[in-house]
Structure 1
Amino acid sequence: MKLIWPRSRGSQFYLLLLVGVAIGLLMVVSGPWRAGLMVVGVTFVIGALARVVVSAEHVGMLRVRSKAFDVFWTATLGISLCLLALLVPPGPS
């Protein structure tokens, strides 16, 4: 079976971002939820940066709406998840 790598740079980033989110979610399920949430949050911030850097003709699956909308909401979600992981107080031991 031959694996097909996405052609556009944006779709390649998108695939890597999916892997990052999957790893973070596996970490959340397996126990270290703060670290997993940080991985997911940082992955979203990297996705926002990728949306800024990748040119319009190669954006691929990173494009949802306009560039400003995509960058704003992806970065907001990533930063919010990181802050959530850092600010939630630990429960009773």
Structure 2
Amino acid sequence: MRLPRSRGSQFYLVQLVVVAAGLVLLALGSWRSGVAVVGGSFVVGAFARLVVPVEHTGMLRVRGKIFDMMWMILLGVSLVLLALVIPDQPSR
């Protein structure tokens, strides 16, 4: 198996692995941790989009830099806040 050459594609691959780990947490019943992990991965992805040079963004680049960063920050922060704000529900 060959790893991606561009730094952005490597970040993208890591982000996919972290999102998959968050989905596993969700499936195992730890929804709050799973949603926070997925949200955190998007915030880190936005930071990666900021620091990786344009010629090395690879699959991390979807649109323009500002659009990519704002979308990932909005999604990531929203998911983390969702995990923090929703109160625990009593078990049935």
Distance (whole Å) between structure 2 residues aligned to residue 86 and residue 68 of structure 1 = 27
Distance (whole Å) between structure 2 residues aligned to residue 92 and residue 9 of structure 1 = 45
> How far off is 1:92 after superposition?
2.0
Cα displacement string for residues 21-40 of structure 1 (whole angstroms, at most 9, x for unaligned residues): 00001101101110111100
Distance (whole Å) between structure 2 residues aligned to residue 75 and residue 25 of structure 1 = 19
- Residue in structure 2 matched with residue 20 of structure 1 by the alignment: 18
Distance (whole Å) between structure 2 residues aligned to residue 57 and residue 39 of structure 1 = 28
Distance (whole Å) between structure 2 residues aligned to residue 25 and residue 84 of structure 1 = 15
Distance (whole Å) between structure 1 residues aligned to residue 11 and residue 87 of structure 2 = 33
- Residue in structure 1 matched with residue 61 of structure 2 by the alignment: 63
Q: Report the TM-score, using the length of structure 2 for normalisation.
A: 0.97
The DSSP-based 3-state class of the residue aligned with 1:64 is coil
> What does 1:1-93 align with in structure 2 at a 5 Å threshold?
3-93=1-91
Residue ranges of structure 1 left out of the alignment (5+ in a row): none
Distance (whole Å) between structure 1 residues aligned to residue 73 and residue 26 of structure 2 = 20
Distance (whole Å) between structure 2 residues aligned to residue 6 and residue 37 of structure 1 = 27
Residue ranges of structure 2 left out of the alignment (5+ in a row): none
What is the aligned residue count?
91
| Cα RMSD, aligned residues only | 0.6
